[in-house]
Amino acid sequence: MSRPTTADLTAPRSLLGRPRRRRLWRAIPKAWRTPLGVAAGLIALGWLVIALIGPAIVPHDPLAQDLPRFQAPSRAAWLGTDELGRDVFSRVLAGARVTILLSLLLVLMSMLVGSLLGVVAGFFGRWVDEVIMRLTDLVMAFPTVILAMVTAAALGASLFNAVLAALVVSWPSYARVVRSMVLSLRSSEFVASGRLLGFSPAHSMRVDILPNVAGPTLVMASLDIGTAALLLSGLSFLGLGAKPPMPEWGSMVATAVQNFDRWWLGLFPGLAILTVVMAFNFLGDALRDHLDPGAERA
């Protein structure tokens, strides 16, 4: 290993730090180094930070009614106030915790439930596969939004029931995709050789099957975060999710419909939903390009 020369020791620190920064930049997947990937990552990271520390940075209490009613955006209220004198900016920041964190939870639950059922159906086959797939077909036979609305209305209008209703309509897509991958992997040589060596079905699924289906499942989950945010916001917009005075983007847009001439009431919650959905969709596309070598070379 060569020792540093005198020129290296006397070089400015900024020059010495450039190779390290370049190595760190190249360590990032190529698909995420595009301008679109960087912008989407920054937006998604910003919203995640806001969702985690939102209550600590809001300028006003999102439930306090201590400001003038229907005040247009100004220095006192950056995004204006609503019909009860509440700060729209504070409510948008506080609503990020409700919408984003619940969307992440919904996608995680859907991925776990659907992947588990898909692995079991594809690996064991026969009557187990028939029962799970017919249940999947039954759920997918109904339009997603309508079935979620009916389920949420039957359970009762609340945010918890809205998440359960969204879970009911979200897991079948994971089950179908994972089942198809497991069916192709089950007949592969490395799985068959493991079974011949005496591996139990649980061991084969854990060691041979799950690592190979994890990548496509994660891509699908990352693309579904935006869809989950839209679905939860839509249920709250229809009065089947969050209830006043909870700050939630869908319910804020619903309130804005009743006061259509106050443009700021619906514009800023709508922009929040738009940026979250687009950011996570772009990140999902970048993750898919990174995990698919053929797509990355193209």
User: Which value, in Å, is the radius of gyration of the alpha carbons in the chain?
Assistant: 24
Please state the separation of Cα 181 from the chain's center in Å. 23
Domain with 120 in it: 98-259+270-297
Q: What is the DSSP letter of 81?
A: B
pLDDT digits (tens, 9 = 90+) for 50-61: 988 877 888 888
Q: Which tokens hold the place of 297?
A: 């070379």
Under the banding of pLDDT at 50, 70 and 90, the label for residue 272 is very high
In a domain, 14, yes or no: no
pLDDT at residue 185, rounded to an integer:
75
pLDDT higher than 60, residue 277 = yes
φ/ψ of 157, rounded to 5, equals -70, 110
Query: Residue 87 in 3-state DSSP?
Result: strand
The answer to whether residue 70 sits within a structural domain is no
Kindly tell me if the per-residue pLDDT of 298 is higher than 70. Answer: no
CATH number of the CATH domain containing 144: 1.10.3720.10
Query: Angle, nearest 10°, between helix axes 88-124 and 210-237?
Result: 140
| Pair of tokens at residue 62 | 């999102």
Q: Residue 227 domain-assigned?
A: yes
- Assess if residue 265 is contained within a domain: no
Q: Which amino acid is at 91?
A: R
In a domain, 253, yes or no: yes
Is residue 151 assigned to a domain?
Answer: yes
| Dist CA 132 CA 212 (whole Å) | 21
Contacts 24+ apart (CB under 8 A), 208-215: 209/119, 209/123, 209/182, 209/185, 210/119, 212/181, 212/185, 213/115, 213/119, 213/178, 213/181, 213/182, 213/185, 215/291
Number of domains in the chain: 1
The stretch 262-290 carries a mean pLDDT of: 87
pLDDT of 15 reads: 46
Average pLDDT, the chain: 81
Q: pLDDT value at position 297?
A: 44
- Could you tell me if residue 145 is inside a domain? yes
Residue 264 belongs to some domain of the structure: no
Higher pLDDT pick, 276 / 9: 276
Cis peptide before 244 (omega within 30 of 0): no
